[in-house]
Amino acid sequence: MKSFLFTSVAAVALFAGAVHAEDAAAPAAPVAEEAAEIIILGHGQSRQTQSVRASDLSEVAPGTSPLKVLDKLPGVTFQSADPFGAYEWSTRISIRGFNQNQTGFTLDGVTLGDMSYGNYNGLHISRAIINEDIARIDLVQGAGSVDAATSSNLGGTLKFISRDPSQDLGGELAATIGSNDMQRLYGRFDTGSIDALGGLRGYVSAADQKAEKWKGAGDQKAQQINTKWVLPLGDAGSLSAFVNRSERQEQDYQDLSFEMIDRLGYDWDNFQPNWALANQVANLYQTQANPTYPGKIDTVDDAYYYGAGVRNDTIGGVKADFALTDMIRVTGQIYNHKNEGQGLWVTPYLPSPGVVYSPFYNSASPSTDNAYVSIRTTEYDINRTGFIGGISFDLGAHQVSAGFWTEDNDFTQARRFYGETLSAPRRDSLGFQKNPFYTQWEYDFTTKTTQAYVQDVWQVSEALKLNFGFKALNVDNTVNQKVGGTIKAELESKDSFLPQIGAVYQLDNGYEVFASYSENMNAYVSAATAGPFSSQNQANINYVRDTLKPETSKTLEGGVRLRTDRFQGVAAVYAVEFDNRILAVAQGSGIQGNAPVLSNVGSVETKGLELAGTYRLSDTWKVYGTYAFNDSTYANDVVAADGTIKARTKGKTVVNTPKNLAKAELSYDNGALFANLSLNHTGERYYTYENIGGLVEASTIADLSLGYRFEALDTTVQLNITNLMDEEYISTIGSNGFANNDASGTNQTILTGAPRQAFVSVRKKF
């Protein structure tokens, strides 16, 4: 590992020196100029870090997930089946081969959990805050952040920072229309500083978005309200508070397989609005041993009537930040998050009660108007409260800080079924379902998290800066099954010493070199559909408790940065040892809800290279590009207790981890007219652990934005076109989990990408 790092550092240092050598002698850009850049490549940091500013977020179509914007950063790959990257069933972000549930996410310091679809300890960023209210996003790759309030940052941390209320009275209105009858309204009102209330200032913003699916029937909608307030405490500090509310309703695209795309087409989707066909297919499946389905349908899983997700969230917090003395500063933040959610599928596997052959015949009278399908839900109820505290000491050359985070999370998860009528569907497909006829299982989970850290940033000299520290993390998970069984268990994830050390050294002519080492742990998941508890088997859970350990990572990275008046760039290399990697092998189609088979594959070995740079061709033209190479392989086979090899994974490429990623942008901005053309290349990926079948081809997607600012009117008109060349490609993989192999190409776990879409926006500030 070390020889790879040091050799690669030397190579990329030579690369950086060769790029734009004519600028190397120029003085470093002033801080003001650096802040004007859209992407900041971590200058002065001892680890690989980038920041994306609000100006970059404003270039994409309004309503676009900030995760999609992050896709341009080195080592990041993002997938989604919709043009906005906001459709949660399909969104996936990976960093250096680490999946979304192995990454940390925070908003203004508050943890968002692992942002998985069936999130048990947080919520997706698209629900946590309106896109226009984000001021900055900081990505810390492999080394993560010792002070971040997260228990899942094996592969890095994403910190979302909201905009502060303006000092001036004003606001903004925006409207967007576009493909698939997309309509979006956004408004924000800033109070400005209110002298009569001690300088209190705040804003209230709201967004309402609706679009039809780009294929099939159904809508994807979201309504959000955000508010944030800041009260200055003289020169000593401030009090701040925020409350964000989100209501999201999304109808799903059907999960596909390679075989289905060949047989049914790229645009194949669910049956909606053909209710009769959905019931016909279900009836044939339930009453015939070898049914012949209509048309090109081969299996009962080719399509369902619909799938959907509904989520209501409220998250808020209060933070105090003030100086005790010139040398000592303290912060304290309390927060709460409540979530109510349902994931819906119209399932042909269980008819509504009243149908003669229904297993619930005895509890309902036979009827000719009971559907051959029912609505299957996975239901979520989160109530979590936490506190984050910190203290820092300015000791001149030493900046010492310490802090802690604690959270209590009560999570209830259930699987229920709801009846439907045969003549026509009577339930709201985007509403919360009530009055179930059957509860298959229900669990209460309690998760108690405690984390503490201490670190010192030592400015050894004007050129050399060191940082070192560690965190201690303890997560206690308990489960109590209320319906469907009697499982009771407790799992603990604990490590009292997770160190992080780093150094950055300023060289002449705008160069700096950096290196860091860190260790992290991913706590067990408290859910019935993910992690150890998803086996829904007491013996299996006990085996995990007694035998397995939480996933851990050790990351070593180093690189060189260059900053001049026209160029900023970074070249970095890294090596990661990822231990106790847990594989979840899907069993059957997702709608059946079968428990996955969990296995410890041992270790994953990762090494990679990242290059990124921005060059100003002139005052109006700029180019940006990145390239990342990642080699992630399983170090072991999956071996059963009796020595039998369950999966031959040794030396195989980790699922959903492309070896090659490349991004390029050409931008123009003269203050009035602006444009941006981007290309995003994603290399081949596997969705099979053994790399037998399941290879998704590489794709290159282009996006275009074009706009004009009418300065006198403080108004901007903007056009966004996604998938400019109208490419057909596979976007999301693993939507229904990953398989050991898929030589037949029949695993329904991929989603096709959206075709070319266009959106026009008008923004007015006042």
pLDDT of amino acid 60: 93
Which residues, listed in sequence order, are joined to residue 703 by a DSSP beta bridge? 678
pLDDT tops 60 at residue 361: no
Give residue-wise pLDDT tens across range 64-89.
999 999 999 999 999 999 999 999 99
Residue with token string 């050399």: 464
Write the burial class of residue 261 (CB in 10 Å: 0-12 exposed, 13-18 middle, 19+ buried): middle
581 or 109, which is more confident? 109
pLDDT of amino acid 369: 84
**Mean pLDDT lowest for which of 222-231, 368-377, 722-731?**
368-377
Residue with token string 């031959």: 648
Q: For residues 739 and 197, give the distance between their C-alpha atoms in angstroms, rounded to a whole number.
A: 60
Q: For residues 182 and 175, give the distance between their C-alpha atoms in angstroms, rounded to a whole number.
A: 11
In a domain, 433, yes or no: yes
Question: Of all residues in the chain, what percent carry a pLDDT higher than 70?
Answer: 90
Average pLDDT over residues 546-554: 89
Question: Of all residues in the chain, what percent carry a pLDDT higher than 90?
Answer: 78
In a domain, 281, yes or no: yes
pLDDT of amino acid 586: 62
Residue of 706, 622, 719 whose CA lies nearest to 672: 706
pLDDT tops 50 at residue 17: no
Q: Locate 144 and state its tokens.
A: 């993560």
Q: Locate 74 and state its tokens.
A: 């080195």
Q: With bands split at pLDDT 50, 70 and 90, how would you rate the model's confidence at 43?
A: confident
Average pLDDT over residues 115-133: 93
Residue 181: helix, strand or coil by DSSP? helix
pLDDT of amino acid 360: 54
Q: How many domains does the chain have?
A: 1
Q: Locate 168 and state its tokens.
A: 């001036």
pLDDT of amino acid 362: 46
In a domain, 219, yes or no: yes
Please state whether the peptide bond connecting residue 366 to the residue before it is cis, i.e. omega within 30 degrees of 0: no
Which residue type sits at 29?
A: A
pLDDT of amino acid 530: 86
pLDDT of amino acid 598: 67
Q: Locate 70 and state its tokens.
A: 């992050």
Q: With bands split at pLDDT 50, 70 and 90, how would you rate the model's confidence at 171?
A: very high
In a domain, 332, yes or no: yes
- Stated pTM of the model: 0.92
Write down the mean pLDDT value for the chain: 90
In a domain, 477, yes or no: no
In a domain, 466, yes or no: no
Contact, 229 vs 267, CB < 8 A? Answer: no
**Mean pLDDT lowest for which of 8-12, 304-308, 687-691?**
8-12
In a domain, 472, yes or no: no
- Sequence-distant (6+) residues with CB within 8 A of 316 are 241, 242, 243, 244, 335, 336, 337
- Sequence-distant (6+) residues with CB within 8 A of 457 are 398, 399, 400, 465, 466, 467
Domain around 347: 39-460+506-765
β-pair type (157-162, 76-79): unpaired
Residue of 249, 232, 381, 385 whose CA lies nearest to 316: 385
Residue 258: helix, strand or coil by DSSP? helix
Q: With bands split at pLDDT 50, 70 and 90, how would you rate the model's confidence at 646?
A: confident
- Sequence-distant (6+) residues with CB within 8 A of 235 are none
Strands (E), 547-596: 551-563, 567-585
pLDDT of amino acid 596: 65
β-pair type (567-585, 750-752): unpaired
pLDDT of amino acid 587: 66
Q: For residues 544 and 188, give the distance between their C-alpha atoms in angstroms, rounded to a whole number.
A: 49
Average pLDDT over residues 112-133: 93
Residue of 55, 214, 195, 213 whose CA lies nearest to 137: 55
Strands (E), 167-271: 170-178, 182-190, 201-212, 219-233, 237-251
* One-letter-per-residue 3-state SS of 58-118: CCCCCCCCHHHHHCCCCCEEEECCCCCCCCCCCCEEEECCECHHHCEEEECCEECCCCCCC
pLDDT of amino acid 39: 58
β-pair type (104-107, 157-162): parallel
In a domain, 30, yes or no: no
pLDDT of amino acid 221: 97
Is the Cα dihedral 95, 100, 105, 107 positive or negative?
Answer: positive
Residue with token string 């993910």: 530
Q: For residues 420 and 426, give the distance between their C-alpha atoms in angstroms, rounded to a whole number.
A: 7
Average pLDDT over residues 416-426: 95
Q: For residues 526 and 22, give the distance between their C-alpha atoms in angstroms, rounded to a whole number.
A: 55
Average pLDDT over residues 635-659: 90
Q: For residues 284 and 290, give the distance between their C-alpha atoms in angstroms, rounded to a whole number.
A: 9
Residue 179: give its domain's CATH number.
2.40.170.20
Residue of 470, 536, 477, 457 whose CA lies nearest to 498: 470
pLDDT tops 70 at residue 542: yes
pLDDT of amino acid 564: 94
Q: For residues 264 and 266, give the distance between their C-alpha atoms in angstroms, rounded to a whole number.
A: 7
